[in-house]
Amino acid sequence: MSFEQALPVILKAEGGYVNDPDDRGGATNFGITQKTYDAWRASLLSRDVKRITLLEVEAIYHRDYWTAARCDALPWPVSLAHFDAAVNHGVRRAVKLLQRSVGATVDGAFGPQTQAAVDDLPARAVFDGMTWQRVDFYYRISRGNQLKFLRGWLRRLLHLRQAGL
């Protein structure tokens, strides 16, 4: 699966502008946080994430998540699951979830051992393993004011699973 095929799945899960005071990421638009947008526009004037363009969203997702997480090295539907995890959890945590799913050393660095472990398993098994790793992660972090996000996080995984079939 290519970036161009995966991006609409991610954008559907992320939705539009949100600024929930309980969301640790702060204000986001299309899943891009203000902090990420500010970093992207470092050489330009700062601008509210509400005003992000779809071209900027696509470029940020490609550079900071798809490429940074090495999604292009993964088979479908693992590439989609890993891309979504990188967007939702950050690249390093996404790699750790992938590594746990395939029995590789969990260090957050996507290297030859991780690649070989992915390549040794059926793609569907890796996809399913990542899904269960994420369910576990969501349950572990859904305490206090984060509990209200749990249903949405689990719904995101169901949507991802449907897109990955």
Residues 6+ apart with CB under 8 A from 131: 81, 157, 160, 161
What gap in Å lies between CA 17 and CA 7, rounded to an integer?
A: 17
Q: Which ranges of 15-77 does DSSP label H, i.e. alpha helix?
A: 34-40, 54-60
Per-residue pLDDT at 145: 82
Beta bridge partners of 154: none
Report residue 97 as tokens.
Answer: 């979830």
Per residue of the chain (165 residues), give pLDDT as tens: 689 999 999 999 888 898 888 888 888 899 999 999 999 998 888 899 999 999 999 999 999 999 999 999 999 999 999 999 999 999 999 999 999 999 999 999 999 999 999 999 999 999 999 999 999 999 898 888 888 888 888 888 988 888 876
* Contact (CB, 8 A) for 13 and 160: yes
Residue type, 53: T
Q: Indicate whether this model's pTM tops 0.85.
A: yes
Q: What domains sit in the chain, N to C, each tagged with a CATH number?
A: 3-164 (1.20.141.10)
Rounded to whole angstroms, the Cα distance separating 145 from 114 reads 34
- Residue 1: the pLDDT is 61
| Alpha-carbon gap, residue 110 to 68, rounded angstroms | 10
